[in-house]
Amino acid sequence: MSKAVNRAWTMASRPEGEPTAENFEIVESTIPTPKHGEVLIRTRYMSLDPYMRGRMRSGPSYATPLQPGDVMTGEVVARVEKSESPLYKAGDTVRANIGWQEWAAVGAHIVRPVDSDLGPISTAIGILGMPGMTAYFGLLEVLKPRAGDTLVVSAASGAVGAVVGQIGKLNGCFVIGVAGTDEKCAYTVDELGFDAAINYKTQNVSAELVRLSPTGVDCYFDNVGGPVSDAVFENLAMKSRVAICGQISQYNASTPPQGPRNMAALIRSRTTIEGFLVYDFELQHEIARTRISNWIKDGSIKYKEDVVDGFENAPEAFIGLLNGKNFGKLLVKVSD
């Protein structure tokens, strides 16, 4: 053990609008000693995800909000340093929801083993973890695309969107990605095999959709909400489906955003809209994990990780995620 203390990032105060460095504080404590049935784990990679912004606000949600002083929520990949349980031994790799911290002693029954045969261990909280599962089930179980469908995915180069588009291609869809830079757009087409991409910051999304898919959009995987979704809603095909996965464009809003503006378009198109959570499909995650791993191994699916080095850089990286600074699944490398 090279460090004498555990460090944890806590929410120092609730952000108003965009989070700032002042909303986060590092708190040091003694590295805990595992009790009977527990494992002492040391974080190697920490996942940073948009939903964490939701935990920082008060008010109704599907999850309990953080209180000032609480450790920031999050999942990590960690090494078992000491085990007081027959379930794990020192040296095993696991994933656990211990939040933004370097060390934790937790019940062995609440950590999950990481199978390094499926992929590099960092992928256990990326494409083979929560974001990959979100893409797989949101697309295949909520949108249920058919070959020949036009599928539009927003935040297309990100952890979820990149996987959605690639599985859409495997299912015979015409895939259009929407992203915030030309580099991200080029990546989705040239590297991931999407049919087209639209830069929502420099192009007219609605006009581009008309040009790329004159018969309309059959499936929309919505990661962002706001003006991008307004533009897609204007172009939905008859009997189209919309999966509401995330609304990142609204996460920093301090007052509730204006409601959907063009619902009348959905009457014409007889569209079905369904929100979902990745955990709705938890019992099937292992099947999806194996399928995605096989697709990576046979070259059908690619992934990109944006790895920030150093525990101390987590808040800055997280603030960047909410502004589109990440390119791929955002991770913090905490220890070797």
328 vs 311: CA distance, rounded Å: 19
- The window from 106-114, 154-162, 202-210, 287-295 that contacts ligand NAP (CB under 6 A) reads 154-162
DSSP-derived 3-state class of residue 240? strand
Shortest spacing between CB 169 and ligand NAP, in angstroms: 18
Q: Cβ closer to ligand NAP: 81 or 230?
A: 230
Q: Within 108-137, which residues bind ligand NAP (CB under 6 A)?
A: 130-131, 134
Smallest gap from residue 178 Cβ to ligand NAP (A) = 7
Q: Are 229 and 222 in contact (CB under 8 A)?
A: yes
Q: Does 166 bind ligand NAP (CB under 6 A)?
A: no
Binding flag, residue 56, ligand NAP (CB under 6 A): no
Question: Which is closer to ligand NAP, CB of 88 or CB of 137?
Answer: 137
For the bound state, the minimum distance from the C-beta of residue 144 to ligand NAP, rounded and expressed in Å, comes to 16
Residue from 223, 240, 269, 293 in contact with ligand NAP (CB under 6 A): 223
- For residues 68 and 38, the answer to whether their CB atoms sit within 8 Å is no
Which stretch, 19-27, 29-37, 85-93, 271-279, contacts ligand NAP (CB under 6 A)?
271-279
Compute the distance between CA of residue 191 and CA of residue 177 in angstroms, rounded to an integer: 13
Residue 175 has, within 13 A of its CA and on its CB side, a CA count of: 28
- Per DSSP, the residues of 175-207 read EEEEESSHHHHHIIIIIT--SEEEETTTS-HHH
CB 51 to ligand NAP: min, Å: 5
Distance of CA 32 to the CA centre of its chain: 30
Q: Which of 19, 34, 50, 119 binds ligand NAP (CB under 6 A)?
A: 50
34 binds ligand NAP (CB under 6 A): no
Residues 168-207 that bind ligand NAP (CB under 6 A): 179-181, 184
Residue with tokens 């806590």: 10
Enumerate residues 6+ apart whose C-beta is below 8 A from 241: 142, 143, 144, 218, 219, 220, 271, 272, 273, 274
Half-sphere exposure of 1 (CA within 13 A, CB side): 18
Contact between 83 and ligand NAP (CB under 6 A)? no
According to the binding rule CB under 6 A, does residue 19 interact with ligand NAP?
Answer: no
**Alpha-carbon gap, residue 207 to 167, rounded angstroms:** 26
Applying CB under 6 A, which part among 65-73, 85-93, 222-230, 255-263 lies near ligand NAP?
Answer: 222-230
- For position 55 contacting ligand NAP by CB under 6 A, the verdict is no
CA 175 to chain centre: 20
Contacts to ligand NAP from residues 285-324, by CB under 6 A: 321, 324
**Nearest to ligand NAP of 56, 224 (CB atom):** 224
Binding track, positions 225-264, relative to ligand NAP; x by CB under 6 A: -x-x----------------xx-xx---------------
- Closer residue to ligand NAP in complex, CB, 44/184: 184
Torsion of CA 251, 329, 171, 246, to 10 degrees: -10
Residue closer to ligand NAP, measured from CB, 186 or 277: 277
- Count of residues binding ligand NAP (CB under 6 A)? 30
Least separation, in Å, of the C-beta of 321 and ligand NAP? 5
Among candidate residues 97, 129, 133, 158, the one with its CA nearest the CA of residue 322:
158
* Residue 21 DSSP label: G
Give the Cα separation of 322 and 53 in Å (integer). 8
**Please, where are the H alpha helices in 270-313?**
285-297
Residues that bind ligand NAP (CB under 6 A): 49-51, 130-131, 134, 155, 157-161, 179-181, 184, 223-224, 226, 228, 245-246, 248-249, 276-278, 321, 324, 326
